[in-house]
Structure 1
Amino acid sequence: MNAYLLLACAIVLEVIATSLLKASDGMSRLWPTLGSLVGYGLCFWLLSMVMKSIPTGTAYAIWSGVGIVLISLIGLFVFRQKLDLPALIGIALICAGVVVINVFSRSTAH
């Protein structure tokens, strides 16, 4: 299977797991806690599969960068958390970094 498709699945699972972690209310609610633990387990397993063909630093940079952006958007729209200008600038820089890695780096798998 395509490593970037697996990476996208790992990112989606990480974002779902993090959202469930927030919903678990400090791991005091059973189902969101269990969902979060399962989601993290699956996302790390997928990430380990990705690292067979994409260099570790590149895979982790994409995984964490895209995950940060997505979970920030979920925090904004689902959990009604505020993002100030420095946070938005930081998120834009993270997006730029992910683009630079994918477009210009020779260390990514193609």
Structure 2
Amino acid sequence: MSYLYLTAAILFEVCGTTCMKLSEGFTRVLPSILIFVFYGISFMFFTIALKKIDVSVGYAIWAGLGVAMISFIGFVGFHEQMTLVKLMSIALIIIGVVGLHLSTNAH
């Protein structure tokens, strides 16, 4: 169940970050408000998830998958450049997250 909370935290964090871009520097009201709503919900779910997940693993998954998802949204939704170096870097983040998760399960 903790990983469901972590998944929700990641999704709401990605929504909040996307709203940062959509707010155009806090010049658009609704996306500006939604930044705080989505981040508040994200932190709530993340806090609940950390009851059962090691903070090092939880934060790595939260940050790593958030970066990967935001990179994809930037590429598809905002037409940002996706280079081979970016793709390789995202792959390394995901490998690191998997490694942390596996090291925790080994104990």
TM-score w.r.t. length of structure 1: 0.91
Alignment-derived partner of residue 33 in structure 1 = 32
Residue 106 (1) aligns with residue 104 (2):
yes
Residue 77 (1) aligns with residue 71 (2):
no
- How many residues align? The count is 106
Percentage identity across paired residues of the two chains: 38
Alpha-carbon RMSD: 1.3
5+ residue gaps in structure 2?
none
Q: Give the 4+ runs in structure 1 shifted more than 3 A.
A: none
SS at match of 1:90: helix
TM-score w.r.t. length of structure 2: 0.93
* Aligned mates of 2:44, 2:13 — CA distance in 1: 11
* Aligned mates of 2:72, 2:44 — CA distance in 1: 25
Contact 1:16–1:39 under 8 Å retained in 2: yes
Contact 1:55–1:107 under 8 Å retained in 2: no
Contact 1:24–1:30 under 8 Å retained in 2: yes
